[in-house]
Amino acid sequence: MIWLLFLGLAALALAPLGLALLRPARLTGRREADLALYRAQLAELERERAAGRLDEAAHRAATVEVQRRLLASEGAERQGRAGRGAAALAALLFLVPALGFAIYLRGGNPEVPAAPYVERAEAAARDDALMAQLRARLEQVPADSEAARQGWILLGNAERGRGRWEAAAEAWRRALAARFEGPLAAELAELLIERGALEEAAALLTRALSADPEQPRLRYLTGLAEARAGRTENARSAWRALLAQAPADAPWRALVERRLQELP
């Protein structure tokens, strides 16, 4: 019975793929659909970056890849590949469950229980203890030393990865107190903007821009802070000035242009 259950679940999971194969091809309006998908992918990348799950380099690379795919998607090429795409999808209807079945036969066991909540809670408690231990050790290091600064940066990165925004922000503040630098100030400012601490973010950006007034990320975040604070004209002015000086092939240009279009 359990194998019948597995087969039924596999059929349900692959049902949308089968429906896609049976649906007749629609060429009309395909370009508009591609553009809509492109915008949706960029919005998703922006949400991932804002939530801290994508760093700036990964976000930039993914955005460029989405743009490259859009430029490469021409109607004639898509039409020529339609038959091959349908054949590949049909093959996947068989190969995906077959591969999953083979992997399960190799090492699967339906009797193995899921990890209980107690074990997950214990793992989280161990992480908390490790972070607390690291924090205690950093407290004993001279506050203005490079070792302390690097330690607080690492702790902030770890806390952000765990979704503990306040702890991450506090660690980065300690690192900036040891030695102020623009890139870390931008990381903290972006986090503060997303959490609504606009005044502190603006102060950080002003200080960082005084040392590096042409840094694109600092200028972009300055406009974002102004937009979130409701100062639309200030944000528009900041982003237009940034675009006016940006190279035509700047990978972040599309993001700034989209932000400008979103302003009321």
* Listed residues 59, 85, 107: the one ending a domain: 107
The verdict on residue 126 lying in a domain is: yes
Question: Based on the domain organization, do 182 and 145 belong to the same domain?
Answer: yes
pLDDT for res 75: 40
Question: Based on the domain organization, do 126 and 234 belong to the same domain?
Answer: yes
What's the number of domains the chain is made of? Answer: 2
Question: Based on the domain organization, do 19 and 127 belong to the same domain?
Answer: no
Question: Based on the domain organization, do 98 and 125 belong to the same domain?
Answer: no
Note down the domain range covering 96: 2-107
The verdict on residue 112 lying in a domain is: no
* Listed residues 107, 130, 157: the one ending a domain: 107
The verdict on residue 22 lying in a domain is: yes
Q: Rounded distance, CA 189 to CA 176, Å? A: 12
Question: What are the tens digits of pLDDT across the range 77-104?
Answer: 444 444 545 555 555 555 656 666 566 5
The verdict on residue 128 lying in a domain is: yes
Which CATH number goes with the domain that contains 153?
A: 1.25.40.10
Question: Based on the domain organization, do 223 and 92 belong to the same domain?
Answer: no
Question: Based on the domain organization, do 123 and 225 belong to the same domain?
Answer: yes
Residue range 228-237: mean pLDDT, rounded? 95
**Nearest 5°: CA angle at 178, between 172 and 181?**
65
Highest mean pLDDT among 19-28, 54-63, 238-247: 238-247
**Per residue, what are the HEC states of 127-186?**
HHHHHHHHHHHHHCCCCCCHHHHHHHHHHHHHHHHCCCHHHHHHHHHHHHHHCCCHHHHH
The verdict on residue 26 lying in a domain is: yes
* Listed residues 75, 107, 139: the one ending a domain: 107
Residue range 143-152: mean pLDDT, rounded? 88
The verdict on residue 138 lying in a domain is: yes
Question: Based on the domain organization, do 155 and 215 belong to the same domain?
Answer: yes
Residue 33 has pLDDT above 50, yes or no: yes
The verdict on residue 67 lying in a domain is: yes
Question: Based on the domain organization, do 129 and 233 belong to the same domain?
Answer: yes
Question: What are the tens digits of pLDDT across the range 40-73?
Answer: 677 777 777 777 776 777 767 777 666 666 555 4
Question: Based on the domain organization, do 101 and 123 belong to the same domain?
Answer: no
Question: Based on the domain organization, do 122 and 103 belong to the same domain?
Answer: no
Question: Based on the domain organization, do 45 and 79 belong to the same domain?
Answer: yes
Are residues 50 and 194 in contact, defined by beta-carbon separation less than 8 angstroms? yes
Closest CA to 254 of 243, 241, 238: 243
Question: Based on the domain organization, do 148 and 25 belong to the same domain?
Answer: no
CA distances from 136 to 128, 151, 162, 182, 200 (A): 12, 11, 19, 27, 26
With 0.85 as the threshold, say if the pTM is over it: no
Structure tokens at 217: 């990320």
The verdict on residue 113 lying in a domain is: no
